[in-house]
Structure 1
Amino acid sequence: MQTSPSPSVPLTHMLTGALLIAVTVLVAIREWVHTPALDPITFALWVVLVAALCVMVKPGRRAFVVAAVVLTGLLVWQVPDWQAVVVRALVSGTFIAAFFTALATLRSAAEPSPEIREAGSFLARQPPGRRYLALTLGGTGFALLLNYGSIALLGSLATAAAREEPDEEIRNHRRRRMLLAIQRGFVTSLPWSPLSFSIAITTALIPGGSWAGVFVPAFISAALMTLLGWGLDTVMKPKLKRPAPPRGAPDNHWEKLKPLAWLLGVLVVSVLVLGWITGLRIIALVLVIVPVMALVWTWMQTRSGGLPMRTRLFDYAFREMPGYKSEVLLLMMAGYIGTVGAPLLAPLVKASGFHPEDLPTWLVLVGLVWIVPLLGQFAMNPILAVSLIAPLLPSPDVLGIPPAAIVLAIVSGWALGGISSPFTATTLLTGAFGGVSARQVGVGWNGAYMLALLAVIPVWVLAYAFLFA
């Protein structure tokens, strides 16, 4: 919904918005020019950003900053080359801030668009026989544009559509099935989307990892998740106490999805063409392509009678971005803590007698698929979990497999964590729309789906690593 900026914006909001944009610009320059010359300025601005966010968030979120400071102190005390580790942690923290800010530009441009809302309403109005698949595939497409906003947008449209059903039993079943399709559509984008944190973080942590190298097998993981969810939804279709009333003719105006298809097409073509021309890694391209797309889209909306460009830019920088204060701080601290904590954890692992390099390769891969959703049950953010675990892994050469196989195992497990963890935004949002707890969504609603995926996805990861890679 389009709104005018508040006439009085708090100073902390102004500072936070300006710092996020400044850090994003500097990180983009670092990625494109391949120079650390501006890193001292970037790191200094990031530290000020963390301090500003600490003032704005609840005490629970500040605990992550305290943990980061304590771990940095332990690092200085215990690790001789602590300076290099801190630099890597700062690079991770600044990148996460920039990546989140860049993705939020597209969400800011998409949410006021009536064409995008109509596309979402069209998916929610599909008849039961094809609604699940429509919402899952559509949810994946919306996730590329809106990130977590896709669940908020489609979830609100789905619950509104469900309310139109007069029969309470049918209404409850319909709401649950639609929300699950939307949530699963979002998480199926995580293994392969160039706009996902799972791809951005994992490919940066695994030596030799790249989006181009893992795209095809990761897309197959997503396809397996989609088909398995569709099959379970069909097989486990609830039995009604009385026959459902006849329905009217379905909405077959698929042209309502054209705006979404055009946007995704522009995004994909831009990434492929610019990547071919520049040779830059995918995350460097996203940091520039996504904001440019959002800026052009916003300008087109202003030409069609929307709010003035100056108003939209002001709202984005000083109202919308500070509104994500808790999410931004949590993600940044997860990346920082994981990077700083890994060198502290490694000696403890070695002292325990556990040597990951001695494990069979197949067990390492299966364990990577399972470990992220398992840790998610205990409130460990996937960024933190992967940042801690990845440095402990044997190199791909030692394991005798290509880097893409390790990346595939991690990003697939990351997606399963998004389905099942009661502490992720996906389950929290889905539970809020469904009127149930996040744990009920992760363990109850998705229980059978998760058990099936925990068996199927590792088989695919092993097949890729030993047969197809």
Structure 2
Amino acid sequence: MTSIALSQPSATSWTPVCRNLATLSLLVISACAIVREMSSVPWPSAMAGAGLLVFVILQWRRISLTYRIFAIIAPTLATSLWLAGMIDGSTVAKGLDRAAFFAFFLTSLAVLRESAKSSALVRRCGKVLVNQPPGRRYLLLAFGSHLFSVMLNIGALNVLGTMIRRAIRPSSDPEAQRIATIRSRRMLTATLRGFCGVPLWAPTSVTMLLVLSGIPELSWEQYAPLGLCWTLLFVLWGAILDRFAYPSPKTHQVSGGDLSQLLPLAALVALVPGLAYGLARMSGLPLFSALLMCAPIIGLVWIWVQYRGLKTRVKGGLFLRRLRRSFPETFTNQRNEVVLFTSSGFIGVILVPLVDPQAASALLIQANISNATLMVGLSLTMLACAFIGINAILTVTLMLGVLQQVPDLGVSPLIQASVIAITWAVFAGASPFTASLRFISNFSGVTPLRFGVEWNGWFSASVLAIMYITLYVVL
């Protein structure tokens, strides 16, 4: 009894120390990624690798088994290939640089999400969206969910899902229950589809990270206008299907609140790429890298603004306490994502040199596969992997790496990026293995499979059908 009692305080006291050291490791890795973006000095690669090793060791006990496998496979595979002479040290260094940049991506955007989740502006906008009249509720909820998701990622589903559940009042009347069920279904579906539109363009989405890393000749500013067009069509198509499925009821229209309250949030979403664009022009950095550097600054300023009205000394104390208490937990809670992203990015880089470009090209010619069929096959492969639980990060990383090795591919980088982004947006709202669908289904009372197939299946299938037909017409 005594030995157990004595051991408990030491374990408890070690947890904050472990969390702080892991946080420091992530900050070091992020700094290494920034240095590599701004210069060609080689030492940050090795330092980032050491930082990742320290982070994994410190967080090992709390990393899920599936992600532990990734953490073991990545270094084992690299060591085996290097000893066999199939890759060299420069390839390993490139893989470490990719892994460090992915860790920087997660760390940078975590600051933005941490600041957004405590914002009164976000809660106020959520109430305005949920309380809109039926005729315009779907469209506004979808666009509002999209804005929230750019800043909060999957946290947006929690904010809006909670508000939707509170807005649906229970009733013993069967007709009232039926109407409440339909209302809940429409609102949750709109919220999910707005969230699923984020991979189509948003620089804060992992999809854009993978696409821009996998297609070096494509920049975010080149793709963003087209991605925004896909997002608009994606949301509007969902609204059209919703209107045909649920005609507008002839009820008394009530005001749902002042929509101008959404303008500050929209301005904040626009501020992130706007500020990044200015930094990129001044520094010569890629826009995506500049955005990741600006995001933490905007997040920290946003937290500071949340304490407005207080004396500077009190505000400073609260701000520093938030940094010490919340951020280490926020960063280390991403341990599984850090392992998955960095391992997938690293594996993708070290496996690409093993692909024989000439053999791949000859195989495509011999099989007589058209460019349209190739892109449809890529999309269907992503979907199949998503529906059997294979993470899309690894799938997309490997497929993009192979595609870039094929000479004279004949498919524009914009088309490659569009196919991947649209497919990602579709399976994010259809596969029961995706975190977004599992999360939103908790508020619906139905299983993720039923939500994705029955509630959102027709929308997903129609989007894919339109894309596939367009590919065959264009290519």
Task: Give the aligned partner of residue 201 of structure 1.
Answer: 210
Partners of 1:373 and 1:418 within 8 A in 2? no
Deviation at 1:214, TM superposition (A): 1.4
Match of 1:416 in 2: 426
Match of 2:304 among 279, 299, 303: 299
- Does the 8 Å CA contact 2:87/2:353 hold for their aligned counterparts? no
In structure 2, the CA distance between the partners of 1:125 and 1:291, relative to structure 1 (3 Å rule), is same
The counterpart of 2:399, out of the listed 386, 389, 414, is: 389
RMSD: 2.9
Instruction: Give how far 1:290 is off.
Output: 0.5
Larger gyration radius, structure 1 or structure 2: 2
Verify: 1:54 aligned to 2:60, yes or no. Answer: yes
Residues 60 and 282 of structure 1: CA distance in aligned 2, closer, same or farther (over 3 Å): same
* Deviation at residue 276 of structure 1 after TM alignment: 2.8
Could you tell me which amino acid in structure 2 is paired with residue 89 of structure 1?
Answer: G
Is the alpha carbon distance of 1:288 and 1:256 closer, same or farther for their aligned partners in structure 2, counting shifts above 3 Å?
A: same
Superposed, which structure 2 residues align to 1:62-141 within 5 Å?
Answer: 62-78=68-84, 80-141=86-147
The answer to whether the 8 Å contact 1:372/1:386 transfers is yes
Report the equivalent of 1:428.
438
Cα distance in 1 for partners of 2:440, 2:50 equals: 37
Q: CA deviation at 1:254?
A: 1.0
Provide structure 1 residue ranges, at least 5 long, that are not aligned to the other structure: 1-5
TM-score (norm 2): 0.87
Q: Residue 323 in 1 paired to residue 333 in 2? A: yes
Quote the Cα distance in structure 2 between the aligned partners of 1:394 and 1:268: 27
Distance 1:288 1:104 in 2: 12
8 Å Cα contact 1:116-1:260 kept in structure 2: yes
Query: CA contact under 8 A between 2:45 and 2:93: conserved in structure 1?
Result: no
1:177 to 186, 189, 192: 186
Supply the distance in 1 between the matched residues of 2:399 and 2:346 (Cα, whole angstroms): 14
The residue type paired with residue 109 of structure 2 is L
Compared with structure 1, are the counterparts of its residues 380 and 71 closer, same or farther at alpha carbon in structure 2 (3 Å cutoff)? same
Q: How many percent identity over aligned positions?
A: 28
CA distance in 2: counterparts of 1:37 and 1:73, whole angstroms: 19
Write the distance in 2 (CA, Å) between the matches of 1:202 and 1:56: 30
SS in structure 2 of the partner of residue 433 of structure 1: coil
Confirm or deny that 1:254 pairs with 2:259: yes
Structure 2: which 5+ residue stretches go unaligned? 1-11
Q: From the superposition, tell whether residues 32 and 173 of structure 1 become closer, same or farther in structure 2 (CA, over 3 Å).
A: farther
* C-alpha distance in structure 2 between counterparts of 1:432 and 1:371, whole Å: 28
Q: CA deviation at 1:375?
A: 1.4
Residues 8/434 of structure 1: CA separation in 2 closer, same or farther (3 Å cut): farther
Indicate the residue corresponding to 2:3 in structure 1. none
Pick from 132, 145, 150 the counterpart of residue 151 of structure 2: 145
Contact 2:348/2:401 (CA < 8 Å) preserved in 1? no
Q: Which moved more, 1:376-385 or 1:156-165?
A: 156-165
Alignment equivalent of 1:378, drawn from 385, 388, 409: 388
CA drift of 1:399 comes to 2.5
State yes or no: 1:216 paired with 2:225: yes
Aligned pairs, number: 455
State the match for 2:30 in structure 1: 24
Structure 1 length as normaliser, TM-score? 0.88
Q: Does the aligned pair in 2 maintain the 1:123–1:138 contact within 8 Å?
A: yes
- State the secondary structure of the residue aligned to 1:292: helix
